[in-house]
A and B are shown apart, each in its own frame.
Chain A
């Protein structure tokens, strides 16, 4: 079983749409949670950390449910520039390494 599971997509949505990605993690010792964005053939870049109370950064909203070991990302008013692969990432307590999901690909169409 993968430690971090994501639907690979692709999600094809029109500009202006709202799209949601989900992720589950298997390690109950996970302490820190993130969404990263990776453009084609580039390095991953931190989009936002995810906190238990939920958090928002502009058009992006992240939620964490520790009981269900579930993380979500909501993107409102999608832009063409949002097209990328979105990686769900966790870090286990006591470790420095990040554990990545395989990513969900988003394609925003005009």
Chain B
């Protein structure tokens, strides 16, 4: 399935690095989401964009910076991360009018050393 793609699939970075995660959806959706899944914790929302505007977010540290340049692309910019930020970062998309039907990408598995 290639409806929602994420790159890279795996990323190892040091605490002083700056990197970006990319998500692209090919489904014609207008809402996109970042979720985080840490070991032993439930999947949790980070950010929601609708029509390229951020409309929801949890209490996410400023070292995570989202960007949504258009309705097909979503980025998560990372800087000065901590080892506890190691997790699976999942992107999802939906029609803004149908948030019940979210399609997930394969995720980026991030390891912070």
> Does B45 lie within 8 Å of A102, measured CB to CB?
no
Within 8 A of A (CB), among B91-113: 94, 96, 99-102, 104-107, 109
Q: Which 3 A-B pairs have the closest CB atoms?
A: A96-B99, A97-B45, A43-B104
Query: How many CB-defined contacts (below 8 Å) exist between A and B?
Result: 53
> Bound complex: CA of A57 vs CA of B48, how far in Å?
30
Q: Are A102 and B104 CB-contacts (below 8 A) given A96-B96, A96-B99?
A: no
Question: How many chain B residues have a CB neighbour from A under 8 Å?
Answer: 26
Q: Closest approach, in angstroms, between the C-beta of A78 and any C-beta of chain B?
A: 24
Q: Are A42 and B106 CB-contacts (below 8 A) given A4-B42, A97-B56?
A: yes
Question: How many chain A residues have a CB neighbour from B under 8 Å?
Answer: 22
> Bound complex: CA of A108 vs CA of B5, how far in Å?
30
- Chain B residues in contact with chain A, CB under 8 A? 31, 33, 35, 40-45, 48, 50, 55-56, 88, 90, 94, 96, 99-102, 104-107, 109
Q: Are A102 and B41 CB-contacts (below 8 A) given A42-B106, A96-B56, A96-B94?
A: yes
